[in-house]
Amino acid sequence: MVESRAERLAGALRRVAGLALLLTLPLLALETFLLAYGDPQLYAGVAGFWATPSGRAVAILLVAALSFHGADGLRAVAVDAWPRARRGGLLAASFLLAGLGAAVGAFLVLRPGVMA
């Protein structure tokens, strides 16, 4: 079955989101390395970025990218596994799941009590 325009767009967005997520992995490795290095001030200097307003904005975007990448990836798996499934329905479900994940992520980043 031929992919719809919306499915092609979702697939392209999934790749872009995946690339952004891949680029954050070296940063995660660096933060873990700083934990191993054993200097709390150095660690706080690097990891403290996430506590700044711009850091929180980036965190929300990253969690949204992760949520979309995961949800659209599950849609792709479902399309492969059940070729006769309603593809429009799967696409809508993946958007819903991605939105839900992004909302939970945004709540975790901005939840009450952490913005002082």
Partner 1 sequence: MNAQTFLRATGLLLAPLVAVHLLSVARFAAAVPPDTFLAPAWEAASSRLSNPFWRFWDWTAFTVALAHGGVGLHLLVADRVRAPRWRSAAEAALLVSLVLVAGLATYAYLTVPFGARNPVLGGS
Residues that bind partner 1 in the complex, under the rule CB under 8 A: 15, 18-19, 21-22, 25-26, 28-33, 35-36, 38, 40, 43-44, 47-51, 55-56, 59, 62-63, 66, 70, 73-74, 76-77, 80, 105, 108-109, 113-114, 116
Least distance in Å: CB of 84 to partner 1? 18
- DSSP calls for 71-97: HHHHHHHHHHH-TTS-HHHHHHHHHHH
CA-based nearest residue to 76, from 21, 6, 7: 7
Closest to partner 1 by CB, 6 or 29: 29
Least distance in Å: CB of 92 to partner 1? 19
Tokens encoding 94 = 């993946």
Closest to partner 1 by CB, 1 or 25: 25
Q: Is 1 helix (H, G, I), strand (E, B) or coil?
A: coil
- The answer to whether 79 and 60 have CB atoms below 8 angstroms apart is no
Closest to partner 1 by CB, 76 or 93: 76
d(CA 65, CA 95): 12
Ramachandran area for residue 38 (φ above 0: left; ψ -120 to 50: alpha; else beta)? left
Least distance in Å: CB of 17 to partner 1? 11
Least distance in Å: CB of 95 to partner 1? 17
